[in-house]
Amino acid sequence: MSKKRRFFIACDEANHNCDKSQYNEATFWEKIKLTVHLIYCRACREYSNKNAKLTKIVDNPKIDCLNKDEKKKIKACFEKELLNQDQV
């Protein structure tokens, strides 16, 4: 294998390495090849950026959940409305 071929990888392999890197499963050599690929491939850079944003959103969701009292109130309202619809 030539020295040039060692550093240059196809986009599908770069995307796979990007996914592995996001989950800390990529080897040091895969990370180097990915970095070299991202230098000259705009599409894979965009994929990598979007992948990083998605991982960040999934890892740190900003979701406010209802507490038990609020859930009970909503459930009571639904049941009341269902009874009203059945009577009509």
Q: How far apart are CA 19 and CA 55, in angstroms?
A: 10
The residue ranges of every structural domain in the chain are 3-62
| pLDDT tens per residue across span 24-62 | 999 999 999 999 999 999 999 999 999 999 988 888 878
Report the C-alpha gap between 35 and 76 in whole angstroms: 56
The HSE-up count of residue 20 (CA atoms within 13 Å, CB side) is 16
- Residue 10: what pLDDT? 92
Q: How far apart are CA 43 and CA 45, in angstroms?
A: 5
Question: Model's pTM, two decimal places?
Answer: 0.63
The sign of the dihedral angle between the CA atoms of 7, 30, 19, 51 is: negative
